[in-house]
Amino acid sequence: MNKRFALPTILVIVSALLAGCWDQVQIEERGFVVGIAIDAPRTKEVEKRAAKEAPRKPKVKQRFLVTHQLVIPGGLIAGSQGGGGGQNTTNEAFLNLTSEGDSLFEVSRELATRTSRAPFYQHLKVLVISEEVARTPNGFANAMDFLLRDPDSRRSGKVFIANGLAKSIIEVKPKTEKLPSLYINSIGENIEKNARMLPEVRIGDIHEELLNPFSFVIPRVRAEKNEIKMAGSAVFSLYNQMVGFLGEEETEGLNFLTGSIDGGLLKAKVKGDLVVLNIQGTKHEIVQDLRDKQNFKFTIKIECEGILAEAYALMDFLSKEETKKLERAFAKEIERMCLDTLQKVHKEMKVDVIKLGSNIRQKEYSLWKQIQKDWESGQRLYEKSTIKVEAKVYLRNVGSINRSELEEGR
């Protein structure tokens, strides 16, 4: 090519390409959002003020009070004291910012006026939504839309429903962790230890549930002074509106019914004294009899195995008959728990959180196509169906000892 053109061409290209990077954001300028809590506003004050400023602005009925939890990286370093020249003066690793608005994006952008670090959602770990928001029609789905739509955020954050204020959940100051959100996140991972916790529900799973015509459950959290308790579950109807809570015991029953137990404990009474089983795994099968449309029959078969963890009852755990007796007692306890849960979700709340409908859909698709509209709504075939539970327990091991005490000792 001509040498005359070379220099001008290079200059043009260089000036176009080296002028700067549009998207350069220094890592120190990013506000890593690790947790979000969504509440309904307590007062109408902000709304009134906003209405005064711009009376003709488009408005909707619902407003959200959103708390973002940002990480202060300096606070994460152990032993770094405030005076070291960092921005961190309180030595806390997080900063909670609460703003009100009727769209989540609005709130997110409003944060930019209040903090030096613009919110960045890629590391979002925990999303807590208050009971109040979840109970309003469409409120839950509306609160989820922004995080699902934003290409910047991911579908892997965990979702919880707060019993009470959502804000207070991410405001707890745990002793073991620096960041409340990470603390909540790690608690959510302890499902193997306790059967009373619902398996984690991710933002992506919520999208699935919102689109599917089924009821669903989300773990419930409750704040206490320096800690949170994650037990029980919030129940949502097929219209994606929260209809109630299940207690801890009922959640355990539900976990048995859906076959989502990896570990936990099971208490039963034998000869008037307690025995405790350490659950090590369950198997779960649904047998369906769909001949009579007005009375579908489901049998949920649960098989559970575990080892003896604690026993107050005085028996010879190494004998065959006694083991059988124990296994029967545990099985009965599982059945009792499941029936209690069924009583509530099937008879009282009338929601198909055991996903029997999904089971029909998977196995008898042509039938499902016909009854789809009449399952939980319409003719309410779910309500009219009969659900039975059959449990079986295998006691694999009795632990290191047989007896801790002799009969004569009592």
Provide the CB-side half-sphere exposure for 259 (13 A, CA): 13
H helix or E strand, kind and range, residue 35 = strand 30-39
- Residue 14 or 318 with smaller CB distance to another protein: 14
Q: Is 204 in the site for another protein (CB under 8 A)?
A: yes
Question: Near another protein by CB under 8 A, which window of 10-18, 49-57, 164-172, 235-243?
Answer: 10-18
Q: Which of 342, 155, 141, 331 is nearest to 241 (CA)?
A: 141
**Residue 332 contacts residue 275 (beta carbons within 8 Å):** no
Q: Which of 383, 101, 131 is nearest to 241 (CA)?
A: 131
Beta strands in 154-272 (DSSP E): 158-162, 216-223, 228-236, 242-246, 264-270
Q: Is 23 in the site for another protein (CB under 8 A)?
A: yes
Contacts of 175 (CB under 8 A, 6+ apart): 226
Q: Is 358 in the site for another protein (CB under 8 A)?
A: yes
Residue 369 beta carbon to another protein: minimum distance, rounded to whole angstroms: 8
- Residue 207 or 267 with smaller CB distance to another protein: 207
Contacts of 348 (CB under 8 A, 6+ apart): none
Q: Is 122 in the site for another protein (CB under 8 A)?
A: yes
State the Cα–Cα distance between residues 65 and 20, nearest whole angstrom: 38
Amino acid occupying residue 171: E
| Tokens found for residue 156 | 């892997």
> Residues 143-182 vs another protein: string with x where CB under 8 A?
--------xx-xxx--------------------------
- Residue 13 or 51 with smaller CB distance to another protein: 13
Residue 97 beta carbon to another protein: minimum distance, rounded to whole angstroms: 21
> Residues 298-337 vs another protein: string with x where CB under 8 A?
----------------------------------------
Provide the CB-side half-sphere exposure for 351 (13 A, CA): 24
Q: Is 30 in the site for another protein (CB under 8 A)?
A: no
Radius of gyration of the chain (CA): 27
Q: Is 207 in the site for another protein (CB under 8 A)?
A: yes
**Residue 52 contacts residue 92 (beta carbons within 8 Å):** no
Q: Is 87 in the site for another protein (CB under 8 A)?
A: no
Q: For residue 190, how far is the Cα from the chain centroid?
A: 12
Residue 127 beta carbon to another protein: minimum distance, rounded to whole angstroms: 16
Q: Is 81 helix (H, G, I), strand (E, B) or coil?
A: coil
Residue 328 beta carbon to another protein: minimum distance, rounded to whole angstroms: 32
State the Cα–Cα distance between residues 201 and 267, nearest whole angstrom: 27
Residue 338 beta carbon to another protein: minimum distance, rounded to whole angstroms: 20
List the one residue from 29, 45, 192, 208 that touches another protein (CB under 8 A): 208
Q: Is 190 in the site for another protein (CB under 8 A)?
A: no
Q: Are strands 64-71 and 94-101 parallel, antiparallel or unpaired?
A: antiparallel
Q: Which of 392, 378, 379 is nearest to 327 (CA)?
A: 392
Looking at 150-196, list the stretches that DSSP marks H as alpha helix, in order from N- to C-terminal side.
180-188
Q: Is 361 in the site for another protein (CB under 8 A)?
A: yes
List the one residue from 80, 295, 362, 379 that touches another protein (CB under 8 A): 362
Number of residues that bind another protein (CB under 8 A): 24
Residue 154 beta carbon to another protein: minimum distance, rounded to whole angstroms: 5
Q: Is 109 in the site for another protein (CB under 8 A)?
A: no
Q: Is 192 in the site for another protein (CB under 8 A)?
A: no
- Residue 146 or 317 with smaller CB distance to another protein: 146
State the Cα–Cα distance between residues 90 and 105, nearest whole angstrom: 29
- Residue 197 or 203 with smaller CB distance to another protein: 203
- Residue 299 or 358 with smaller CB distance to another protein: 358
| Tokens found for residue 53 | 């400023």
Q: Is 17 in the site for another protein (CB under 8 A)?
A: yes
Name the site residues for another protein (rule: CB under 8 A).
13, 16-17, 21-23, 122, 151-152, 154-156, 204, 207-208, 211-212, 355, 358, 361-363, 365-366
